[in-house]
Structure formats: structure tokens, C-alpha cells
Amino acid sequence: MIQLENLTKIFETPDGVVTAADNINMTVPQGEICVLLGPSGCGKTTTLKMLNRIIPPTSGRVMINGEDTSTLDTISLRRNIGYVIQQIGLFPNMTIAENISIVPRLLGWDKKRYLARAEELLAMVALEPKTFMQRYPRELSGGQQQRVGVIRALAADPPVMLMDEPFGAIDPINREVIQDEFLKMQEELQKTILFVSHDIDEAVKMADKVAIFNAGKLIQFDSPDALLAHPCNKFVEDFVGTDRTLKRLRLAKVADVMTPAPTPVKPDDDLQTALQIMQNNDYVAVTMVDTLGRPIGSITRDLATAKRGRCGDHFYGLRAIARVDDDLRSVASAMFSKDTTWMPCVDDEGIFRGEISQRGVTHYLGATYRSREAQQTGVQHGEV
């Protein structure tokens, strides 16, 4: 857990006094990623660098797992905090193995142990240890170097990581890949991470909590969804963008929004059975699954009323299928591209699990606004 208490940095410059970080207070629970977000010069990087005292704080406290870091020796503090910078900063005079094992070596691990650790870490980011251990940084691509930069910070298994725009210098395609890899690693590692970014999309993707900074002040500290749904002022609203509700699509999974499996029909069922199900449940359509339970088509109420016979002889094909762990953004995209307002949802095995509709998505996104409005209206009525 990381706690910042009234953390402040004041720089004396020739042009006068500049408050780069002004009484920053926040708490990041163990195992969470907190993204520090804001325009350049907003104080996010200064705040990050005060944690490992690359920039010494003017006042205030940094507590890591309840321990006031100002009581610790700077060198050992830094060895216990993973640090990743945008420029990567691999030492060109050292091999990849040497780069990764720097902190373990500084901590006095024996050679066998730190080499084994380097191999383990390389394997974790899908870089073949045999190939890469003895290479030099300049022989690696940018993306490969950045992966090494991240695992170098993880080498001595520090509980806390500081990442200063770690994926900023990578092309957009590789950035997505590395972000995904990193999130997968984080699921296992459960580090407490402070992550500086200026990219709202990256923040929404990576963060458990987002801290928005402006002019040295912490403006809003919230979950990505709360931040996008309820920006606390004009600055945050402008910063997150006019399409902020669309950005929230990425934060919800199909499983959060779908209506759980309504009874499906089989190809051998009579259309009358399908109609009965629709009438009983007030559906306009019902999904048809095969013998294994995989969706293969749909029967609408019009169809069931107009035709006679088996469902398997009279059904509409499926335009698109959603997976329960897809995010809503890909569902919305599929709905638009396939011109449909409804999709059956399947699990990893392809088994029918539920349905998702455009109405369901908009209802889900709108819920947070309605509850807020209801509260506000309630207050007004109370005052009257």
C-alpha cells in the first residue's frame, strides 16, 4: 500500500517559486495500479519521483506499507522500489542478463540465483532466455528493450513499482500488446503500482484508480469509470474528452451487461414451442442452439407466428456473437458493423450463456447518470 500525505514539492527557479506538487494526498491499496494523469507540467511526474526521492520532497510524507520512507536510507529504499522510465535506460555497456540482474547484484545475490532470476523474467515476457541473455541492448527492438526495462525493475521482486510513461516511446500496435502483457503479469504479481501517463485511453485501460493532476494539484482521484461518468469539474471533463461515455465501453465486460441465458430452443423443437417461450417471457426473439448448446440462429415472434413446422427449418442466421469476457467496446463495434442491435453471448467453450442488446448497453451506461440525477432531484425536493 502506498500513502501520500500532504506531499509537496516547491522549486526555487530564477523566475520565482514554483509549486510543482501541492499537498498531494492519496492512498493506493496493495495490488492496485494507480495512473497519474494530466497534461505536461501538471506535477504527475514530480509526484512519482518523490516516492523514490529522485526528487526530494519539500514537505509531506510517503508511506509504503505503513512505513514512513523518510526514515529509510535512500539507496536501500530505491532498491526496494521497481523503477521504469520512458527512455527505458538500459545500460548499453551491459548484456541483457547483466542489465536485468543489476538490483539483485547490488543486493549481493549469488551468481546462480540472479542468473536464474533473469532467465525466469525473460521467459515471463516471452523473450527466449538462450537467445537474449548475452545480447546487448542495441541489438534489441524498441518493444523488446521496453520489456527488458520492465523486468529489470521486477528483478528483486519489489512490492512497489514506479512507472514513468513506460510505454510512451513505443508504436501504438506494440504498445497495446505490451500493455496487455503487463496487465496479465500484474494479475499474478499483484504489485502496487504508480504509473504516469498523459494518455486517457491508457489510463482507462491500465488503472484501478486514476489520479488527475493539474497545475500541481490533485484534482480527482477515482476509478476510471467514475472519472469518466462523473468528472468533478470542467478541467477533468475537457481532459477526458467529449466521447467519455464511449470510453466507458471499454471498462465493462459483456458478462456485466448481458441478460443471463433465456431458455433457448433446439432445431427439433416446434415453432409453437418457441412462440410459447416468447409469449411467456415477453421476448421478441429466442435463440436457437445446437445439441452442444452453441448458438446457431434465432427465431423471431413474427416468424413463429407466420410459419408452421420445426425451428430448424425456419430460422434467421446469426450476424454476430459476443464472448462473455469481451468488453462493450468490441460489442458496440460488432453491432455497428453487422447492423444488429442484439447478439447472443457465449463462454470460452462457445456455449450459449445469455444475450446482449443495444438497449442493455445504453441502459447500463446510463444507469450511473440516472442514479446521480435522482439523488440531485431528491435533494431539491427536500429543500422545497
Partner 1 sequence: METLAFIAESWSLIFSLTLEHISLVSVAVGLAILTGVPIGIAITQNESVAAVVLYAASIIITVPSIALFGLMIPVLSLFGQGIGYLPAVIAVLLYSQLPIIRNTYAAINNVDPALREAARGLGMTPVQRLRLVEIPLAIPVIFAGIRTAVVMNIGVMAIAAYIGAGGLGTLISRGITQTDPRQLIAGALAVSLLAIIADYALLYCQRKLTPKGVSA
> Closer CB to partner 1, residue 40 or residue 93?
93
Q: Is 100 in the site for partner 1 (CB under 8 A)?
A: no
Q: How far is the CB of 107 from partner 1 (least distance, A)?
A: 9
As measured in angstroms, the least distance from the Cβ of 249 to partner 1 is 36
Q: Out of 19, 70, 95, 179, which residue is the one contacting partner 1 (CB under 8 A)?
A: 95
Binding mask 265-284 for partner 1 (x = CB under 8 A): --------------------
Residue from 76, 72, 54, 55 nearest 63 by CA:
72
Q: Say whether residue 213 binds partner 1 (CB under 8 A).
A: no
Choose the binding region for partner 1 from 102-110, 116-124, 286-294, 369-377 (rule: CB under 8 A): 102-110
Q: Whose Cβ is closer to partner 1: residue 75's or residue 177's?
A: 75
Among 92, 260, 317, 382, binds partner 1 (CB under 8 A): 92
CB nearer to partner 1: give 51 or 331.
51
309 φ, ψ (degrees, to nearest 5): 125, -160
- Does 76 sit near partner 1 (CB under 8 A)? yes
Q: Which of 38, 43, 60, 137 binds partner 1 (CB under 8 A)?
A: 137
Distance of alpha carbon 182 from alpha carbon 172, whole angstroms: 15
At its nearest, how many Å lie between partner 1 and the CB of residue 87? 4
3-state secondary structure the chain: CEEEEEEEEEEEECCEEEEEEEEEEEEECCCCEEEEECCCCCCHHHHHHHHCCCCCCCEEEEEECCEEHHHCCHHHHHHCEEEEECCCCCCCCCCHHHHHCHHHHHCCCCHHHHHHHHHHHHHHCCCCHHHHCCCCHHHCCHHHHHHHHHHHHHCCCCCEEEEECCCCCCCHHHHHHHHHHHHHHHHHHCCEEEEEECCHHHHHHHCCEEEEEECCEEEEEECHHHHHHCCCCHHHHHHHCCCHHHHHHHHCEHHHHCEECCCCECCCCEHHHHHHHHHHHCCCEEEEECCCCCEEEEEEHHHHHHCCCEHHHCCECCCCCEECCCEHHHHHHHHHHHCCCEEEEECCCCCEEEEEEHHHHHHHHHHHHHHHHHHHHHHHHHHC
Give the interface size with partner 1 as a residue count (CB under 8 A). Answer: 29
> Is residue 140 a contact residue for partner 1 (CB under 8 A)?
no
Q: Which three three-digit cell numbers place residue 226?
A: 467514475
Q: Which three cell numbers stand for residue 51?
A: 516516492
Q: Which is nearer to partner 1, 140 or 288 (CB)?
A: 140
Residues 152-211 that bind partner 1 (CB under 8 A): 152-153, 162
Of 61 and 105, the one with the shorter C-beta distance to partner 1 is: 105
Please pick, from the candidates 18, 70, 136, 245, the single residue that binds partner 1 as defined by CB under 8 A.
136
Question: Applying CB under 8 A, does 79 fall inside the site for partner 1?
Answer: yes
Least separation in angstroms between CB 167 and partner 1:
15
Closest approach, Cβ 94 to partner 1, in A, equals: 7
Task: Report the residue from 46, 52, 144, 287 that binds partner 1 according to the rule CB under 8 A.
Answer: 52
Of 101-109, 185-193, 207-215, 261-269, which part binds partner 1 (CB under 8 A)? Answer: 101-109
Residues that bind partner 1 (CB under 8 A): 52, 54, 75-81, 83, 85, 87-95, 102-103, 106, 136-138, 152-153, 162
